[in-house]
Amino acid sequence: MKQISLNKINDLLTACGKERRVYLPTADTTGQTYFSQWKSDTQDADILHTLQNTLNTVRSPKDLFFPQVENLMGFRVTGKQIELVENRDTTEDFVLFGVRACDAKSFEILDKVFLAEPVDTYYQTRREHGLVITLACSRPAETCFCGTFGIDAANPAGDISCWIAGDTLYWQANTEKGKQFTDSLTILEDASEDAVEAEKEKIHAILDRLPLKSLTTEGFDEEHTLELWGSDKWASLSESCLGCGTCTFVCPTCQCYDIQDFNTGSEIKRYRCWDSCMYSDFTKMSAGQPRPTQLERFRQRFMHKLVYFPTNNDGAYSCVGCGRCLQKCPISMNIAKVMKTLQDK
């Protein structure tokens, strides 16, 4: 266990950014928080205020591994010759600082998709170059339910885990990559684990009082697939859904994407961008739309997260209980409501 005084947070980030880019939660002019590159002229107080008062960024940090839009490649046509233009940038080593336990878990879920054969080498390269430093949630929000999926907000995973207790940041390396990085930081001092254990107890006491503490995954398994799929409750649940896709774009585990080619005149560029299963043209083909109604699209989203994905991935649910969909859905529909409604016999 290591430690550093909070009034040296910029010194720590300077050390972290000596050979790597550092990304951390940053508030914009409207007060919305996103992961963005750290700037050395940022005041300690501003960094600490964001880290201590913002649980979830608007969009999750999956952006750093799976960008919302990326130019995969290009094609240059000269006569009958087609030249492949490699647009893959050389990925630099980078640090993701201040990742919460739920978002750290989401990377494991994305790994199951993008690192399975055939491996997505764009994603793989970013994962290999990225170092994840997590931060325990000192004040979990009422919309949090990560515990439903076995995630401990007081004990986040990642290459390195951090806790804020009093005026000190505590630091623990978890992986070989994290240990090597920690060894390179001479600014850190040795520390006792007592303060961290006390902080974990405080966090667990808050977690035990959250409104969604009793939410479980009971009944969401392969055995109940047909029963869940055929439930007459989908009609009422999906009735007010706008199909806006907000839930999918703020979700840290959604991984659907579309690929399109654009002719710039001199070159054809191939882009990949996030897509949403809630859109009416999602999976639309020349033969038609396999899920023509919003009910079918709505059902597919939640069946995938709660039944199909865990069935095919050793019981791992495609939800981490971050609460973003609870906060952002314009009609206040979310996965917690769906789970409770389907479990209510």
Neighbours of 65 (CB within 10 A): 21
Domain boundary at 177, 207, 237, which? 207
In a domain, 212, yes or no: no
CA distance 198 to 182: 23
Average pLDDT for 316-326: 97
pTM of the predicted model as reported, rounded to 2 decimal places: 0.94
CA 230 to CA 209: how far, in whole Å? 34
Which secondary structure element, helix H or strand E, spans residue 136, and what is its range?
A: none
Answer with the residue of higher pLDDT: 42 or 151. 151
Question: Are 189 and 238 members of one domain?
Answer: no
Assess whether 242 and 129 both reside in one domain: no
Count up the domains in the chain and report the number: 2
Percent of the residues in the chain that have a pLDDT greater than 90, as a whole number: 84
Domain-located, residue 216? no
Q: How far apart are CA 257 and CA 274, in angstroms?
A: 4
Domain holding 32, by residue range, is 2-207
| Band (78; pLDDT cuts 50, 70, 90) | confident
pLDDT mean across residues, the chain: 94
Which letter does DSSP use for residue 288 in this model?
B
